[in-house]
Amino acid sequence: MYHEKKILVNALNTVFFVGLSLASQHTLAESNMAKMSGNEMQAQGGDAPKNARDPHAYSAGTTLTQGPYAFKGGERLTLADEHRFYALLGDRFEYNEQTDAAVFDLQAWYGTTFNRLVIKSEGDISDGKLEENQTDILWGHAISAYWDAQVGIRSDYAKDGKNRQWLAVGLQGLAPYWFELDMTAYLGEKGYSAFTLEAEYELLLTQKLIVQPRAEITLYGKDDEENELGSGLSSSAIGLRLRYEFTCQFAPYVGVEWKNSYGQTADYARLRGERSNQTEFVTGVKFWF
């Protein structure tokens, strides 16, 4: 039990370390900005100074439903900030030539601007059968202008391995210079732990023709023989996808992906007679609705 706690703490530390380093990069950016102007200022983020204005200071004790002339004859006005919205985003939905497999990477959310149920599901389908799947069910809470903290569970399915369940804690958002990041630390049964980091970027060749570089790394806390995964840096995938946005909600693409496995994971691959690095070509569609 103690051991598990320690791993959880380590996993959390990893997330926070990455988060902090982003934040510090952020701060650095702003201190540069401040230098430019010769003034102390911070245009984004940060903590409210002690003398910051109270946004309710002008209310004289009234609320939307209480006080003089408050509307009584029915429901008070509600606007979209109190509504819930949803989205289903298919970031990758592609066919991989080398492995003759379909890969899906979907995300869905439902909720308000600042609190959402988030479901992420990623997996491979080969010969019409699900080979692997990882599904995260998370509660996402906005912690700053561009970042959501996410906590929840992850469930893995492996056709030829051992299914695992995890607790998940992560950060998803937009880093300075428009890098979309999604990083999550996982704590599983029997002291298993994992960390994944995904980064995406977009380069517009035209308003509709877009190159998307993408990188993903996975680390594990200890060897998982049943799933043939080694501890430490286990695998990475670096991809480039070129898509054409017929609409921003529907964009077919072609791409190439360089996959590497490392350490014990690479050894397991070699034992299976596979290479530890591969170049793969994909065709797919990115969509959301």
Binding site for other proteins (CB under 8 A): 29, 33, 36-37, 39, 41-48, 51-56, 58-60, 62-64, 67-71, 73-82, 85-87, 89, 113-114, 142-147, 174, 176-178, 203-207, 211, 248-249, 288
Query: Judged by CB, which is closer to other proteins: 68, or 273?
Result: 68
Query: Judged by CB, which is closer to other proteins: 64, or 153?
Result: 64
Query: Judged by CB, which is closer to other proteins: 9, or 151?
Result: 151
Q: How far is C-alpha 72 from the geometric centre of its chain's CA atoms?
A: 44
Please report, for residues 7, 9, 69, 105, 230, the alpha-carbon distance to residue 193 in angstroms, rounded to integers and kept in the order given: 7, 11, 58, 22, 11
Distance CA 103, CA 96 (A): 7
Residues 6+ apart with CB under 8 A from 26: 44, 45, 176
Distance CA 11, CA 6 (A): 9
Query: Judged by CB, which is closer to other proteins: 170, or 221?
Result: 170
| CB atoms closer than 10 angstroms to residue 173 | 20
Residues 6+ apart with CB under 8 A from 64: 70, 76, 77
Query: Judged by CB, which is closer to other proteins: 82, or 127?
Result: 82
Instruction: Tell the smallest beta-carbon distance from residue 11 to other proteins (Å).
Output: 24
Query: Judged by CB, which is closer to other proteins: 77, or 271?
Result: 77
* Nearest partner of 81 among 118, 113, 115, judged by Cα: 113
Yes or no: say if 284 and 93 are a contact pair by the CB < 8 Å rule.
yes
Dihedral (Cα; 217, 200, 145, 45), 10-degree rounding: 70
